[in-house]
Amino acid sequence: MKAHHLYIPLIVGAFTQPGVVLVLETLSRTHAASITPSLSLAILTAICFVPIILTVAVFSFGYGIKGLRLECLFWGGFIAMWLMAAYIHFDVIKPIYFGGHMSSTASLAYVFAMPPLMFVAMLVGLVIGGFISQFTAFFDWLDRKLP
């Protein structure tokens, strides 16, 4: 397990919500009252990325997966989790910038919907990363067999 398997998910998790707010403020024609990114949401999002860190640790130390296969699994799971986190933040905050009805309980999505949906997205990303790692292993084997 490399150091970037630990700090990249935590840093990206902390900057996901402010990044989504920045994109919405840029795309919105009418600027709503500016939403200040809160530290608690940044910490919550960063905590939601802990499963990918634990999964990579288990694959690395428990199963002995190393090198390109571990990187494919990490990036597959991480990108899927990040896309789900960004989508949930976007979906909750979007009515403020583009009109529409915003539920008074919309912020509960951060606590009750985001962690399980990010976990499911991580599992799907790990499967996709596993398939990609199998193809890279096949091409490495093919390169060694061909003259």
Least confident of 27-31, 32-36, 45-49, 120-124: 32-36
What is the DSSP code string of 84-106?
A: HHHHHHHHHHHHHHH-S---TTT
Contact 117, 88 (CB under 8 A): yes
In which domain, by residue range, is 141 found?
Answer: 4-145
Q: How many CA within 13 A on the CB side of residue 62?
A: 6
Please give the backbone phi and psi of residue 104, each rounded to the nearest 5 degrees, phi first: -70, -20
Residue 97 CB contacts under 8 Å (≥ 6 apart), including other chains: 24, 25, 27, 28, 30, 31, 32
pLDDT higher than 70, residue 31: no
Could you give the number of structural domains in the chain? 1
The pLDDT tens digits of the residues spanning 35-69 come to: 666 777 778 888 888 888 888 888 888 788 888 88
The pLDDT tens digits of the residues spanning 62-116 come to: 788 888 888 888 999 999 999 999 999 899 888 888 878 888 888 888 888 888 9
Whats the size of the chain, residue-wise?
Answer: 147
